[in-house]
Amino acid sequence: MNDVCLTYSKGIANSHLEAEKTIKGSVLPILERLHTEIKNKSKELEKGAVKGSKEVDKARNVTQKHIELLGQHTATFASSGGKVDPSTDPYVLQRGVNHRLNKQVLEENNNRHDLIEIQNSFAAFEAHVIQIFQQALQTFLQCVGGQLERQKAMYSDIVSTAQKIPLDFEFKGFVHRNNQLLVDPSVPKRDISHISFPNQNHASTQPLIAGTLERKSRAMGGLKGYSTDYYVVTRSKFFHEFKDDDDIRKDPSPELSLYLPDCTIGAVSGEKFNVKGKDASKGKVGGAFAMSHELSFKAHSPADAERWYSVIKETAGGSATYSTEPMSPTSPVESQNEASQQQPPQYQEKSVAPVQTQGLGQGQGASSAGPMSAGAPTQQPYNTPVSGGGGQNAGVGSTPTSGVERKPGQY
C-alpha cells in the first residue's frame, strides 16, 4: 500500500510538475498576450477620449467668449444710441456666435462619434477577451487531462461554466455599472436650431429688412452688369452687404457696410434706387481713407424697391441727404458725349458797347472829334471804360458776352 501510495504520490507529483511546465509553455503566453492587449486598449482609450474632450472644451470656451462679447455690445446698444462699429454690430456678432456654436456642435458630435466607436470597439474587445480566456482554459484542460478524474471533473466543471458566459456579458455589466458616464447611442445628435443662448433674440440683432438685391458693378463703368448679393439693414443704421445668408459655411463678415445717416439716398425709379456713401467695413483706420461711391441697386419688383427705400429712409433719419431724382453714376466722357448728342453748341455774339456822350463839356466836345466820337461805333472789350476828349473817363454800359471772338468752331 505504501509503495502504491508512494508511487501514486510520486506520479501525482510528477504529473503536477509536467502540468506546471505545460501551463507555463502553453497557457500563460496566451494570458500574457491578452494582458498586453488590455493595457494597450486602456492607453488607447485615455489618449483618444482625452484628446476629443479637450477639443470640445476649447470650442466651448471660444463660443462662450463670443457670447459674452455679444452680451456686452447688446447691453450698451441702447445707451450708445445704436452707434457701433461694423465689427461689433450685434447682428454681426450674433452670426459669429452661430458660426462658432456650429463649430462647437461639430466638435461635440465628432467626440460623441468617437466615443460611440470606442464603446462599440470595447464590445468587440470584450468578446475577444472572453474568447482568449476560453482558449486558455481549453488548453489548460488538455494539460491536466491526465490527472485524477476528480480534478478533471473539477476543471471540466470550471470550463463548462466558463463556456456558458455570453460574449457580451461583461460589457453589459460594464454598461449597467457606468450608465451615467457613457453616451446613449439612441439619443439624437445635437442641432444648432434647437440651441438657445443669451441675447439670441435681442432687438438689436433683428434686421429691419433683409433679402437679396442686385447691385451694379463699379468696375469699368458697370460693364460687368448686376450681381446678386444678400443685403441687411440693421437697427445700428448700417446697410451691410454679404455674399449670402449662410452662417455655417464661413464666418459672416460684411463685404460692404454703409452708415446710412452719412449717406446720400436717391429716389426710387421703378425697380432701381441708389445710395451714395463711404464703405465702413474696414474699420476706423480703413474708413478714414475710404472714398465715397455711388451704388446702384435693383430690387425684384417696384414694390420691393419702395419697401427697401422706405426702410432705408426711415433708418437714415434727418441726418442723411436725400435726392428728389434718381442718381445714376456716369463718367465725364459719357456726360460729354450725351450733351454733344442732344444739341449743337450755341454761341452768343459779342455786343457793341455804346459811347457815353452825356455830361461832357464844350472843350471836351472839341477833343472828342477823334476816333472815339465818330459816328461809326467801335467794339470795346467787356467792362472796359472808354475815354472821351480831354482825357476824361466815361463809364461804358455793356452786357456780359461769351468771350468768343472768333467764328463758331474756331478756338
Q: What is the mean pLDDT of each run of 10 residues along the chain (411 residues)?
A: 48 70 86 90 77 85 90 80 78 88 89 83 86 87 70 65 84 88 86 88 92 83 78 94 90 90 91 91 66 89 94 82 59 39 41 43 38 38 38 40 47 40
CB 244 within 8 A of CB 222: no
Name 251's Cβ contacts closer than 8 Å, sequence gap at least 6: 96, 99
> What whole-number distance in Å separates Cα of residue 121 and Cα of residue 143?
33
Name 270's Cβ contacts closer than 8 Å, sequence gap at least 6: 302, 305
- pLDDT of amino acid 17: 80
- pLDDT of amino acid 307: 95
- pLDDT of amino acid 46: 75
Which own/partner contact pairs does 177-184 have at CB distance under 8 Å and 24+ positions apart? 182/115, 182/119, 183/112, 183/115, 183/116, 183/119
CB 145 within 8 A of CB 174: no
CA proximity to 53, closest of 143, 114, 133? 114
> Half-sphere exposure (CA, 13 Å, Cβ side) for 282?
9
> What whole-number distance in Å separates Cα of residue 18 and Cα of residue 253?
79
- pLDDT of amino acid 401: 45
- pLDDT of amino acid 53: 82
Q: Counting runs of H as helices and runs of E as strands, what totals does the chain give?
A: 9, 10
Map out the domains of the chain as residue ranges. Answer: 2-192, 207-332
> What is the reported pTM?
0.47
CATH number attached to the domain at 207-332: 2.30.29.30
